Structures are given as C-alpha cells and as structure tokens.
Structure 1
Amino acid sequence: MVLKVFVIAVLVAVTVADTIPYTPPRPSYNAPAPTGPAQYNFDWSVNDANSGNDYGHNEGRNGYDTQGSYYVQLPDGRLQRVTYTVNGDSGYVAQVEYEGEAQYSAYQPAPSYQPAPTYRPAPTYTPTPSYN
C-alpha cells in the first residue's frame, strides 16, 4: 500500500514538473558596448631555414575598410602571395600572385623489395673435447 502511494506521488510530481516551462539562467555579465568603429593592425611571420617554413600575414582595419596580405613558401619552391581587401558590403576581394618558378626533383623510383636476411645467432660457447 505504501509503495502504491509512493509511485502515485512520484508520477504526480513528474507530471507537474513537466508542465512548468524551463527558463535558462541569465548570464551574470554584460557585453561591453562598442566605443567606435573597429581599428587594428597586426603583422607576423615565420622564416625557419632548417625546416624550409616561410610564411606570414599582415592586416589592418579601420571601420569597414580591411586590407591585408599573406604569403607562404610552396613545396615546389614558389612563393604564393595573396593581397586582399574587404570594404563594407563588397565582400572579400583577393589578388593571388606567384614569385619564382616551380621546381620538381627528378623521379627516383623506389628500390625493389629485398627480403630481410635470415637471422642466425652466433654460438655462445666453444665446445672443448672431454678426452685426453
């Protein structure tokens, strides 16, 4: 009898809880209000002779006018440089240029398969005669 009352109470509680709408908690912070049009400049680059990495990026923005460029050393030896602008609603407009000429190494066929040599352990002792 007590179990039936408990089960009915749980079912009533679930039904009541299911009808209450969920309201997510509000954040306790306010986003800062913009103080004016966006303005920034940045520039970075990597040039590592040991690995051959050579790339970089620079960009400047003043309000809705954004201009920048980036470059990368391609595996074929050319330098790819992209210069771009973004002006308001005109979208991203890029100009791509390549410096140098593509260089490819001569074809080197892989060596044919050679099975590994058979393992033969060296003897660990030298037998001596037991007779005189």
Structure 2
Amino acid sequence: MFCKLVFALLSVAGIILGHPDVYEPVYKPEPLPYYFNYDVHDDYKGTHFDRNEKSDGKALYGSYTVALPDGRKQHVEYKADHYKGFVAKVSYYGKAKHPKYYGPAITFKHKGDYH
C-alpha cells in the first residue's frame, strides 16, 4: 500500500514538474526580418505617395511621403522598438499654394420630409 502511494505521488510530481504552465505556448517564434516598399504616382488624379519599411527582427525602420492638398510634400522617417517606442521625424518640402479667389459657399437645401 505504501509503495502504491509513493508511486502515485511521484507520478503526480512528475506531471506537475514536466508541465509547469499549461497555457504557455510550446513554440515561440522570433520576429523575422523583412523589407517592403511601394510607390504610387497617378498624374490624372494627382495622387503621389510612397512608403518604405524594413525590420531586423528587433527594430522597425521606415519612411513615407505624402502629397498634401496645398501642394507641399510631407516626408516622415520613423523608427520603432521596444525601448524607445515610436519615434518620428517629420519634414515638409515645397511651398503651400492657396487659391486667390474662392467661389460661393456650398449649401444644401432640404427637399421635403423623410419617410
């Protein structure tokens, strides 16, 4: 009887020590390095933007450029990691152009009741 009790206790101890946490994932993937970029230039619609991003598995480096409605370009360079967080450097190129004359204000008129 004593041997059965010792065997049962050793079996339970082996199970507990062999699997300390049931919810811990068995496989912990490391972040993989990657690189991507894209560039859009649509002269018909006036859409111009691009983006570049790369990662070494520990930090993220990137930049993007956007054409603003006033004619300037906004360029953002950024770095993100687990120590400093997201750090961005923003710069603008070109001169803002605003129209000299504005047309009448756009107004909307109510056309009856809604049912």
TM-score range for the pair, normalised by the shorter chain length: 0.5 to 0.7
Structure 1, residues 45-93: CA drift from partner, whole Å, max 9, x if none?
1110000000111100012111000110000000000000012221000
How many pairs does the alignment contain?
A: 81
Q: Is the 8 A contact 1:46 1:55 kept in 2?
A: yes
Q: Hey, what does 1:102 align to over in structure 2?
A: 96
1:43 matched residue in structure 2: 37
Paired-residue identity, %:
36
RMSD across aligned positions (CA)? 2.1
Q: Which AA in structure 1 matches 2:42? A: D
What is the CA distance between 1:35 and its match in structure 2?
4.5
What does 1:21-100 align with in structure 2 at a 5 Å threshold? Answer: 33-100=27-94
Query: Structure 2 length as normaliser, TM-score?
Result: 0.63
Q: Whose RCO is larger (CA < 8 A, sep 6+)?
A: 2
Residue segments in structure 2 that go unaligned for 5+ positions in a row: 1-24, 106-115
For 1:47 and 1:57, the matched residues in 2 are separated by 12
In 1, Cα distance between the equivalents of 2:59 and 2:74? 24
Describe the SS at the equivalent of 2:83.
helix
Structure 1 unaligned blocks of 5 or more: 1-30, 112-132
- 1:92-126 per-residue CA deviation (whole Å, 9 max, x = no partner) reads 00000000010011123329xxxxxxxxxxxxxxx
> Structure 1: how far apart are the matches of 2:55 and 2:34?
5
* Bigger-Rg structure (1/2): 1
Deviation at 1:34, TM superposition (A): 4.6
Structure 1 stretches of at least 4 aligned residues deviating more than 6 Å after TM superposition = none
